[in-house]
Amino acid sequence: MKLKILAYLTIMLSFGILSAHSIFSFYGPAEMNYQRDTYSEGMGGTGLGDLFRPNVSLLNPALSTTIDKMHFATALSMGYTTYKNSENVSFKDDQIFLPFFNMIIPFRQHRLGVNFQNISSGRLSTEQKYRREIDEEEIHLTEIQRVDFTLFKAGIVYAYQNKYVDWGVGLNYIVGHDVRFFRQDYDSSSLMTSRFETEHTFNNPSIDIGLAKKLDNVSVGLAYSLPVELKGDSYFKTNTLNEKVTQAVFEYPAHAALGISWKVHELFFVSSDVDIELWGNTKNFENPVNTFRTGFGISWAGNKDSRRYLARMPLRSGISYKNLPFEINDHQISELAYHIGFSLPLKTHDSYLDVAVKFFQRGDENKHNLSENGFLLTIGTQGFDFLRRPANRKAPREIPIPDRR
């Protein structure tokens, strides 16, 4: 019950900005967040097994063991996407959303955390104008379609630092909704505006399990999210009707992931991740298929002992590839993305401002009648041990007396 209340309160406080955009949102959950932190996003979306840095990637609860003191992390993502269809008609749309926030409290070998994640979202509105002849009268109409799909996850994490293998468990509550809106506006007063809307709301608990192990210069992470059937209510709305019609069901699939990181040098690292989601076992939308995602990234950790600010800046880059969980015209829809990132060291010890930029391209207008490309800028913060009392440098101190002998 407490998890459910936490999820609803978080969504109510931040609902206004929690949405990514994709033209493929009309077919299913196109914009997926693979629950990596901002550092990972600038490194090809990798880092599930990276134990060589403070890592708050939420898919693997065992990564909380990389945190040694009170830790807070959050981020904001924003960008532009350009859509194009087979008729060479294009338009641009902006987006902004909060991908996650995470707070971890360490105690000896134990880690306790609370977090919120935007695991999937898609909000888009399209408008088309037509000209028709009705009863020998030329009528102009505007047709508006809108989709608003979101899946949020809020929960608590417990992790244990073990000499054999670190492990963690996340107890979450998933809340989501799917709204489909259609309206026709006529310029003639003799024709009434047509409006139809379906709204589905759903929720249920979920569980994440994670393992992590460091072996000299290599670290490995495994994560698994159990499948869950989200249940709620469905509503149908028109100009004159607004009623509950049936129970809503959304099947969230099993998600398995593997990550490997290699410490090539004290300051140079290589990472690779693989994610598999079994959307093909669900019945949420037409033509569901299992998704496969892989990423590869390299990073320069930055020389903390250098007096030059630029030399202390961690730098990274990577590439990722995935397919969407549905097909159009019997063709798979792929996404290819390029990632770059860097971190700005802050005055507070071990605190950073992380920046990641992702350039992506999805779909093919010749195969799918639609395509999109764009970029996403993510700015995140991590560190800030605000529970620890700072040293009192203003208190009276004893002045040493020189020895006169």
How is the chain split into domains, by residue range?
A: 2-383
Measured distance CA(149)–CA(179) in Å, rounded:
6
Q: Does domain 2-383 have CATH number 2.30.30.100?
A: no
Torsion of CA 164, 73, 97, 8, to 10 degrees: 80
Integer angstrom CA distances of residue 207 from 11, 20, 49, 183, 189: 19, 24, 19, 39, 55
Reduced to 3 DSSP states, what percent helix, strand and coil does the chain have, rounded to the nearest 5?
A: 10, 60, 30
Provide the 8-state DSSP code for 393.
S
State whether the Cα torsion 52-56-59-61 is positive or negative: positive
Tens of pLDDT along the chain (405 residues) come to: 444 444 444 444 444 445 678 888 889 888 888 999 999 999 999 999 999 999 999 999 999 999 988 889 999 999 999 998 888 888 888 888 889 989 999 999 999 999 999 998 888 888 877 777 666 667 778 888 899 999 999 999 999 999 899 999 999 999 999 999 988 887 766 667 788 899 999 999 999 999 999 999 999 999 999 999 999 999 998 877 888 888 899 999 999 999 999 999 989 999 999 999 999 999 998 889 999 999 999 999 888 777 787 788 899 999 999 999 999 999 999 999 999 999 988 776 567 889 999 999 999 988 999 999 999 999 998 876 655 555 555 556 666 666 655
Measured distance CA(316)–CA(218) in Å, rounded:
18
Q: Which of 5, 200, 190, 244 is nearest to 116 (CA)?
A: 5
State whether the Cα torsion 49-36-177-281 is positive or negative: negative
Q: Which of 310, 227, 205, 219 is nearest to 273 (CA)?
A: 219
Integer angstrom CA distances of residue 54 from 30, 133, 161, 267, 342: 30, 65, 14, 15, 15
Torsion of CA 236, 242, 243, 249, to 10 degrees: 30
Measured distance CA(354)–CA(296) in Å, rounded:
19
Angle, CA 387 vertex, CA 382 and CA 390 arms, to 5°: 100
Phi, psi angles (nearest 5°) of residue 23: -65, -20
Report pTM.
0.85
